[in-house]
Amino acid sequence: MVRPMTDEDLRTRKATVTLADGRELMYFGAIPERPADYPDLRQLDAVHVQSQARWDRLLGEWVVIAGHRQDRTFQPADDQCPLCPSTAGSRTEIPAPQYEVVVFENRFPTLKTAQAATGGADQPNGAAWDPAAPASGSAPPEAGRQHSLLASRPAAGRCEVVCFSQRHTASFADLSPGQAATVMAAWADRSAELAGQPGVEQVYCFENRGAEIGVTLSHPHGQIYAYPFVTPRTDRMLASCASYRRETGSNLFDDLLAAEEADSSRIVLRGTHWMAFVPFAAHWPYEVHMYPRRRVPGLVALTGAARAEFCELYLDLLRRFDRLFDRPAPYISAWHQTPVRRGGDDFALHLELFTVMRAPGKLKYLAGSESGMGAFANDITPETAADRLRQLG
Ligand SMILES: [Zn+2]
């Protein structure tokens, strides 16, 4: 289904239905004519989620404890894939017999839906959660202060699954620009809607690809997390931005982008609206950051032209990653967006793409230095990685 991108792609159609256990599912793009004609016919028990966010007092960050996820579906046979469209003989998560892009609430979420988490049952140790307390990565809940060494709160939020294609064996890199635009429209739609839900502080769209990353389903899909706090990495970036602004009066993202452009040795792709480069201090063997040239806070703020060019450049980049090794590259692709209530003036939407592979058959393990101390050591110079990625075009 290769077709040119049209204006219609940027005003993507959407239809929402309810699954047998009450979860929401949304069709995007070429949706079934009458989605209600395809009800979820499965017998499903209600989703049972017990998630808790615990405050790590030493590191100043939240950790989500989600013990219920040990039972989730793990590497099912291809004909049991829960992300393929339903057929008469196989009822999956997607009731319709075909779809373009689908988003639905994860049946095995790390975070529980905000509505279900407002009760008092998840506040052990007397450290009750005050919904009015700041939810940043650096600020524990005020109400838990007297017990703040052992503070916790319900891990309220939402976890969604994004199916990029109905084709089980496809990958994101196989999509046409028009299909990729439908995924982008779904990301933007979800980012806006989830940011408006009670208690949500940050929306994170991402893709884990490959068994090496720990992906439990091979069907092409990504995920969206709506966190009840600002994540540790975003919190650190916001702090860097704030101190840089105090020192220089400038925006750190703008100046970094200008510095990379002026240096140019690590640039992989240059577009009218986007720039893709290996960062100066790359943590991973092959790591590329994509920034819109005009700083925007999130996916919703991108113009149609910027979205369209992103799809072209991103697909190009993913295909280069797949040519790096003698097999499809395992990767993590992470959208960084401005949190809901912090960083609006300074933060810059960008995508960070990296692979954990450093050579055919050789994985970069997060070992003693990285996992034990958080100190990364990268065996490939960022300039070499950028040169290699440029040549793979
Ligand atoms: Zn599948």
CA distance 159 to 64: 13
Pairwise pLDDT comparison (27 vs 138), residue with the higher score: 27
State pLDDT tens for residues 117-149.
443 333 333 333 443 344 455 455 544 455 579
Say yes or no to pLDDT of 156 above 70: yes
State pLDDT tens for residues 293-314.
999 999 999 999 999 999 999 9
Q: Tell me the CA–centroid distance for residue 84 and ligand 1, in Å.
A: 4
State pLDDT tens for residues 260-270.
999 999 999 99
Say yes or no to pLDDT of 341 above 90: yes
Query: What tokens appear for 44 in the block?
Result: 């499903």
Active-site residue flag, 221: yes
Q: Tell me the CA–centroid distance for residue 69 and ligand 1, in Å.
A: 21
pLDDT of residue 93: 96
CA distance 62 to 338: 18
pLDDT of residue 80: 87
Q: Tell me the CA–centroid distance for residue 82 and ligand 1, in Å.
A: 6
Average pLDDT, the chain: 88
* pLDDT tier at 366, thresholds 50, 70, 90: confident
Q: Tell me the CA–centroid distance for residue 234 and ligand 1, in Å.
A: 33
pLDDT of residue 178: 95
Q: Among residues 219, 221, 289, 350, which one is catalytic?
A: 221
State pLDDT tens for residues 167-213.
999 999 999 999 999 999 999 999 999 999 999 999 999 999 988 88
Centre a 10 Å sphere on the Cβ of residue 360 and count the other Cβ atoms it contains. Answer: 9
